[in-house]
Structure 1
Amino acid sequence: MFSYPEIDPVAIAIGPLEVHWYGLMYLLAFAVALLLGLWRARLSWTVLQPKQVEDLVFYSAVGVIIGGRLGYVLFYNFPAFLADPLWLFRLWEGGMSFHGGLLGTVIAILLYARKIGKPFLRVMDFAALLVPTGLFFGRLGNFIGQELWGRPTDSAWGMVFPKDPEQLNRHASQLYEAFLEGLLIAIVLWFYARKPRPTAALSSLFLILYGVFRFVVEFFREPDAHIQFDLFGWMTRGQILCVPMVVIGLIFFIGAYIHASSSKEEAVTEYDGAKK
């Protein structure tokens, strides 16, 4: 059993003002996304120019925050909202949903793509590369803040979280997610994106990978206390939300290659016809 590292969740305290590590991780996530986006935009075949990356990150950040909060309220604790509608705006009390943040980001990117006159799916492909590192820092923030910990385990790599009232040896599921949803997806996507790919292939591959990894990690993560298990007595709310992600991702990924193949055939036919 590992010992939980003594990390103060408050990174900076100046009088009554406290800056938590979780908030700093959000800032770090957006900063790294901006740097990666600027680097990526230097390639001649990417959809965005470097000057457009800053606006993309800004739109995405707004979408993550608004969508993440609304998603948590709608997907995970709607009764609390009905009992106290102002709870929606008390972000400092916690409660953000990845799936809601994803939907918020998609809407934000759709609006931004229309504003600059760029194909929505190509901008989504560009943005998909910037998401995993943000997830990595976000899960580290969860770990430092001692939230979203794992289920009890007898394994030697479990740990006791000081904030856990039951003081059980638990999976550090936040770190599992940081590795799988963050580092591993980032490595796969950036390796895959070394050369041009069919439109929508990158973003759909992200949906597939995240959905699969999150579904697996949910077996090690403690379900929400007020929800527990939703379906069949073992599926969590997070797993249910991941199923449509994987299905949609597979449809778009396969469709991307089918469309790219047919487009090439049409281009060859037109070219051969012109030669004749």
Structure 2
Amino acid sequence: MLPNLQIDPIPVFGLELHAFGFLVGLAIILGTVVAGRRARQLGLSERVVADVAIWAVVGGFIGAHLYSAIFYFPEKIAADPLYLLKMWDGISSFGGFIGGTLAVTIYFRRKRELPFLPYADSIIYGFAFAWIFGRLGCTTAFDHPGELTDFFLGMQYPGSKELSAGVRHNLGMYEFFWAVLMSLVFFLNRKKTHFKGWYLAMFVVCYMPVRFFWDFLRRADIHHFGLTAGQWAAIVLFLLGLYLMYRGIKKGDMLPPDGVPKYRPKDEEAALKRVSAKKAA
């Protein structure tokens, strides 16, 4: 059994700094920096990555709350429809992933001259490293408690209104370990040639089966036709990841580790100006 890793808030200038908030903020910054650096290695625009990061964070937080509210706490919506607007009350990582993906897709739909898959690879590359610190925050907060267990990685849970105290699975910690492994795989492949979309497809295909299994370890959630909302989402996204992998292999549109010359930043800046000019017209 592992001891509880919850950290008491630290007072800073009259405010309380929580480990979870600090680590999530660090994750956003680190993910953006790593994604930008990866984009530069591929000859892409760091400015575009920074813009996309803003869209992804905003869309991610909105999606995280809406998904959690609709699929996990429908009774709260029935009691108070305005609960949907309380973005700080209840989030889901799956909802964040879906919301962030939709926001990024909308961004690139508006800027059609930018290559989607090379940027998606850069962003998901940075996201994997960000996931380490995001899930480390979840580990310290113990905000994803599972069922009671005698597993050697079980952690002492202090108890809450919904769950009794005891040794439980800390699912945030399990995902922290997974994120470290996935980031290592990405790092070791950074100098290899892959098809465009390889990093995106690999992340989805490797994460979804693991997440599907971990949902069996969660505390009792609402089930839809025998599975949780997260498990159904995992199935759909896993199939999408397989499709991206199949499409990438079949199409054979490769992306060398040093990028494609036609996607140099100066060309992308020009593309952005053309898009802005069209919108202004």
Q: TM-score range by the shorter chain?
A: 0.7 to 0.9
* Counterpart secondary structure, 1:2: coil
Q: Is the 2:118–2:196 contact (alpha carbons within 8 Å) kept by the matching residues of 1?
A: yes
1:12 and 1:132 map into 2 onto residues whose CA distance is 30
Matched, 1:256 2:213: no
Note the C-alpha offset of 1:255.
1.4
Shift in alpha-carbon separation, 1:139–1:6, aligned structure 2, 3 A: closer
Q: Is the 2:27–2:133 contact (alpha carbons within 8 Å) kept by the matching residues of 1?
A: yes
Q: Aligned match of 2:238 in 246, 252, 255?
A: 246
Q: Percent identity?
A: 29
* Counterpart secondary structure, 1:18: strand
Q: Is the 1:71–1:97 contact (alpha carbons within 8 Å) kept by the matching residues of 2?
A: yes
Aligned ranges 1:145-160 → 2 under 5 Å: 145-160=141-156
* Counterpart secondary structure, 2:144: coil
Aligned ranges 1:17-28 → 2 under 5 Å: 17-28=15-26
Note the C-alpha offset of 1:115.
4.3
Match of 1:103 in 2: 98
Aligned ranges 1:147-226 → 2 under 5 Å: 147-164=143-160, 165-180=163-178, 182-224=179-221
Q: Which structure 2 segments of 5+ residues have no match?
A: 255-281
1:159 and 1:115 map into 2 onto residues whose CA distance is 46
Q: Is the 2:198–2:248 contact (alpha carbons within 8 Å) kept by the matching residues of 1?
A: yes
Q: Is the 1:150–1:174 contact (alpha carbons within 8 Å) kept by the matching residues of 2?
A: no
Structure 1 residues 166-220: Cα deviation after superposition (integer angstroms, max 9, x where no partner): 222212222111111x212222233334233212222111111110121222233
Q: Is the 1:56–1:112 contact (alpha carbons within 8 Å) kept by the matching residues of 2?
A: yes
Note the C-alpha offset of 1:6.
5.2
Q: Is the 1:201–1:257 contact (alpha carbons within 8 Å) kept by the matching residues of 2?
A: no
Matched, 1:112 2:107: yes
Note the C-alpha offset of 1:90.
2.3
Note the C-alpha offset of 1:261.
7.3
Which structure's relative contact order is higher, taking Cα pairs within 8 Å and 6+ residues apart? 2
* Counterpart secondary structure, 1:42: helix
Matched, 1:73 2:69: yes
Match of 2:5 in 1: 5
Q: Is the 1:121–1:200 contact (alpha carbons within 8 Å) kept by the matching residues of 2?
A: yes
* Counterpart secondary structure, 2:76: helix
Shift in alpha-carbon separation, 1:168–1:230, aligned structure 2, 3 A: farther
2:40 and 2:151 map into 1 onto residues whose CA distance is 46
TM-score normalised by structure 1 residue count: 0.81
Matched, 1:139 2:135: yes
1:261 and 1:62 map into 2 onto residues whose CA distance is 31
Q: Is the 1:66–1:104 contact (alpha carbons within 8 Å) kept by the matching residues of 2?
A: yes
Greater strand fraction, Structure 1 or Structure 2: 2
TM-score normalised by structure 2 residue count: 0.80
Over the aligned positions, Cα root-mean-square deviation in angstroms equals 2.4
Q: Is the 1:113–1:123 contact (alpha carbons within 8 Å) kept by the matching residues of 2?
A: no
Q: Is the 1:109–1:123 contact (alpha carbons within 8 Å) kept by the matching residues of 2?
A: no
Shift in alpha-carbon separation, 1:39–1:209, aligned structure 2, 3 A: same
* Counterpart secondary structure, 2:88: helix
How many matched pairs? 251
Q: Which structure 1 segments of 5+ residues have no match?
A: 263-276
